């Protein structure tokens, strides 16, 4: 395995790899919950930055799902597969809506908002909405 010291090159490689990475809906929810658990400052820009960094740096989606012992992950019965940009777009909309409505960033609120957004927007539509 080659070690890359240049941060810009490393970030570029990670983006190219993640361009083809896919996520299930359960994995997406786990990433959103994991993001609020590891983020100190729960502001929109910080959350999105941390979400994207987590998505870029964690190669194994099961790692995040295993870290989150949430009953809400098991309640999801949607079997969509999302791209990196689609998952990031849902995350942006979830966090944006919760912050605008001044709801607390809890697992339950994230779950409920994500379920609502999946009913309103398909993965392709949410991606067009944000144009990452």
Measured distance CA(93)–CA(41) in Å, rounded: 18
Q: Decide: residue 109, CB within 10 A, 0-12 exposed, 13-18 middle, 19+ buried.
A: middle
Average model confidence (pLDDT) across the chain = 87
Mean pLDDT (whole number) for 101-118: 95
Residue 123 is predicted with a pLDDT of 93
Q: Other C-beta atoms within 10 Å of 129: how many?
A: 12
Using alpha carbons, list the distances in angstroms from residue 55 to 104, 119, 132. Answer: 23, 24, 14
Residue 88 is predicted with a pLDDT of 94
**Does 11 have pLDDT greater than 80?**
no
**Does 1 have pLDDT greater than 50?**
no
pTM, full prediction: 0.84
């Amino acid at each position: 395995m080659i070690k890359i010291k240049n941060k810009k090159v490393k970030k570029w490689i990670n983006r190219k790899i993640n361009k083809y990475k896919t996520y299930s809906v359960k994995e997406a929810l786990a990433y959103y919950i994991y993001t609020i658990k590891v983020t100190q400052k729960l502001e929109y820009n910080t959350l999105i930055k941390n979400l994207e960094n987590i998505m870029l740096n964690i190669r194994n989606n099961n790692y995040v799902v295993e870290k989150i012992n949430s009953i809400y992950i098991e309640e999801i019965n949607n079997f969509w597969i999302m791209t990196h940009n689609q998952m990031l777009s849902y995350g942006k909309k979830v966090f944006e809506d919760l912050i605008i409505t001044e709801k607390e960033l809890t697992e339950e609120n994230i779950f409920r908002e994500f379920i609502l957004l999946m009913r309103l927007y398909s993965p392709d539509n949410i991606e067009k909405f944000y144009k990452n």
